[in-house]
């Protein structure tokens, strides 16, 4: 059985870095490239962070592509101060990593997605953990890919719980609700791994200490990066007792869909000012026999955390 071909689409902050490590380590995934997006920081900074993380874990063979630099309805992107607070000024907990030896590819992320869709077809999974601007731009440029790509497994949205940037909206979707709506309402099949499940997957300093105890540079640096995130969570969300594994869970579901239970439902994304970014069922398609979205509503958090720790610990153990 061949591994699933995956493209990560990251705005590489701290949980994106963990998602990247998970994808590299997952035996059932073949990471063919990393696209960068804006959000936690600017797209060029996200690309640089991805290159740094790939170098840290010894996978400099994986190409990185710069994606769209701003929302589809704007001509610029301004990083929010809260993003710098949550992820650090440099996006990775203010932990210093060497300047990467490689540069991003000259080809853009959108063209790479289109090329990969035609090359791999249903074997391709795209995993966006930021705004859906890159995927929407690829669909607009080549509408045929909606019938080619196997799945888009995204971290974003909130169906059964409140949002985290407003009572309605989750942060990634709210970066570009128009793009998200284009993706959700297209024939392309999406698996939405949203706050409904990611808030139930928690990592604590007990786990990051296991990485420190490995005595490797990769283990120590990742522990430093994630401990920063855990400290911010203690400040902002003291009731959680750890940090949520938002982006890594989407990668886990792409490899093993049985980590979550899903509700198959056609969805829309609200783009009006009052409820901007809300992900909700589409009343006009309630009787659709083949809904285009599977929204995760329950997660086997214990089994997922065990898998997460096995993958990342083994990866860090083997990278001095």
Q: What ranges do the domains of the chain cover?
A: 4-317
The answer to whether residue 168 scores a pLDDT higher than 70 is yes
Answer yes or no: are the C-beta atoms of 270 and 168 closer than 8 Å. yes
The answer to whether residue 318 scores a pLDDT higher than 90 is no
The answer to whether residue 60 scores a pLDDT higher than 50 is yes
* pLDDT mean over 285-310: 96
The architecture in CATH of the region 4-317 reads: Alpha-Beta Complex (3.90)
Confidence band, pLDDT 50/70/90 cuts, at residue 55: very high
| Average pLDDT value for the chain | 96
Percentage of the residues of the chain whose pLDDT score is greater than 70 = 99
Q: What is the pLDDT of residue 85?
A: 92
Percentage of the residues of the chain whose pLDDT score is greater than 90 = 94
The answer to whether residue 63 scores a pLDDT higher than 90 is yes
The answer to whether residue 2 scores a pLDDT higher than 70 is no
pLDDT (tens digit, 9 = 90+) per residue, 243-284? 999 999 999 999 999 999 999 999 999 999 999 999 999 999
The answer to whether residue 1 scores a pLDDT higher than 60 is no
* pLDDT mean over 125-132: 98
Answer yes or no: are the C-beta atoms of 12 and 40 closer than 8 Å. yes
Confidence band, pLDDT 50/70/90 cuts, at residue 237: confident
* pLDDT mean over 61-66: 98
- Number of residues written out for the chain: 320
The answer to whether residue 88 scores a pLDDT higher than 90 is yes
* pLDDT mean over 20-34: 97
Q: What is the pLDDT of residue 319?
A: 75
pLDDT (tens digit, 9 = 90+) per residue, 100-127? 999 999 999 999 999 999 999 999 999 9
Selected residue with higher pLDDT from 236 and 22: 22
* Residues in a beta bridge with 133: none
């Amino acid at each position: 059985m061949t591994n699933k071909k995956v493209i990560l689409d990251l705005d590489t902050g701290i949980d994106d870095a963990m998602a990247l490590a998970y994808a590299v380590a997952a035996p059932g995934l073949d990471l063919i490239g990393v696209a960068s997006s804006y959000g936690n920081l600017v797209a060029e900074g996200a690309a640089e962070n991805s290159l740094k993380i790939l170098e840290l874990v010894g996978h400099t063979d994986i190409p990185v592509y710069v994606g769209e630099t701003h929302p589809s309805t704007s001509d610029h992107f301004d990083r929010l101060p809260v993003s710098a607070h949550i992820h650090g000024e440099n996006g990775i907990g203010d932990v210093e990593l060497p300047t990467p030896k490689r540069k991003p590819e000259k080809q853009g992320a959108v063209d790479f997605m289109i090329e990969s869709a035609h090359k791999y077809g249903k074997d391709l999974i795209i995993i966006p953990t930021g705004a859906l601007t890159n995927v929407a731009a690829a669909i607009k440029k080549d509408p045929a890919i909606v019938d080619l790509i196997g799945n888009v497994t995204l971290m974003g949205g909130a169906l059964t719980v409140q949002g985290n940037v407003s009572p309605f909206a989750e942060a990634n979707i709210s970066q570009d609700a128009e793009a998200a709506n284009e993706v959700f309402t297209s024939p392309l099949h999406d698996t939405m791994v949203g706050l409904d499940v990611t808030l139930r997957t928690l990592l604590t300093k007990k786990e990051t200490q296991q990485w420190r105890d490995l005595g490797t540079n990769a283990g120590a640096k990742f522990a430093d990066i994630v401990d920063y995130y855990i400290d911010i969570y203690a400040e902002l969300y003291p009731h959680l007792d750890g940090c949520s594994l938002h982006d890594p869970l989407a990668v886990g579901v792409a490899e093993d869909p049985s980590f979550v239970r899903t509700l198959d439902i056609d969805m829309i994304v609200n783009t009006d000012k009052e409820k901007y970014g809300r992900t909700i069922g589409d009343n006009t398609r309630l009787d659709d026999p083949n809904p285009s979205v599977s929204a995760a509503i329950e997660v086997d958090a214990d089994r997922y955390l065990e898998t997460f720790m096995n993958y990342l610990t083994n990866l860090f153990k083997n990278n001095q």
